Amino acid sequence: MDQQRHMQKKLDNDNKHTSPQISTHVAIEVHGAQLYSHKVFEEFKEEVKYSMDTCKSRGFSEGDSLEVTTVSDTNKDRNYKVTYCPFTFKETCSRRMLERKSIICRHVIWIYSYNGLKAIPDECVVNRWCKDAVRSKMFDCNGEAAEDVDIIDGK
């Protein structure tokens, strides 16, 4: 356990005092580097890179307040439907990466970049992946805070 705590404190320190390497200098990637922990940012950076290299629009339709775009992913040779509201910045993608991994996918990043967004909307950010995620206290089986509990019988 001491080794895990030490590693966690080291990673927290690295996240606070170092910056990850940015590859594309796209504004949304720069915001992701400021927002996400290093490990999560590496995955996000790959999505940004692929959005610039492999995504293209294949169709566009506009409703009352929604824009529906078919985004072609040449890397996977598939099309994804992205629904986007320019007023609330809410989006859905048929890939559903935000729901599965809590990170926006390359198709949504492409739509955001196309529409000139320079930051990831707050609705798309999960606090647990952020650099400044607040840790909650740990409790023992009696409901007492773990830091205040004495070790009994070496357990």
Tens of pLDDT, residues 74-125: 888 899 999 999 888 889 999 999 999 999 999 999 999 998 999 999 989 9
Secondary structure E strands in 3-130: 55-62, 67-73, 78-84, 91-93
| Confidence at residue 47, expressed as pLDDT on a 0 to 100 scale | 95
How far is the C-alpha of 41 from the C-alpha of 76, rounded, in Å?
A: 22
| Confidence at residue 69, expressed as pLDDT on a 0 to 100 scale | 92
Structure tokens at 72: 């072609």
For residues 48-73, average pLDDT: 91
Average pLDDT, the chain: 85
Domain boundaries, the chain: 2-148
pLDDT digits (tens, 9 = 90+) for 19-60: 888 988 899 999 999 999 999 999 999 999 999 999 999 888
Structure tokens at 145: 């805070």
Global pTM reads 0.76
Structure tokens at 85: 């509201």
| Confidence at residue 130, expressed as pLDDT on a 0 to 100 scale | 87
Q: Which residues contact 87 (CB under 8 A, 6 or more apart)?
A: 65
| Confidence at residue 9, expressed as pLDDT on a 0 to 100 scale | 85
In this prediction, what percent of the chain has a pLDDT beyond 90? 47
How far is the C-alpha of 152 from the C-alpha of 32, rounded, in Å?
A: 44
CB 104 within 8 A of CB 126: no
Q: Half-sphere exposure of residue 57, counting CA atoms within 13 Å on the CB side?
A: 14
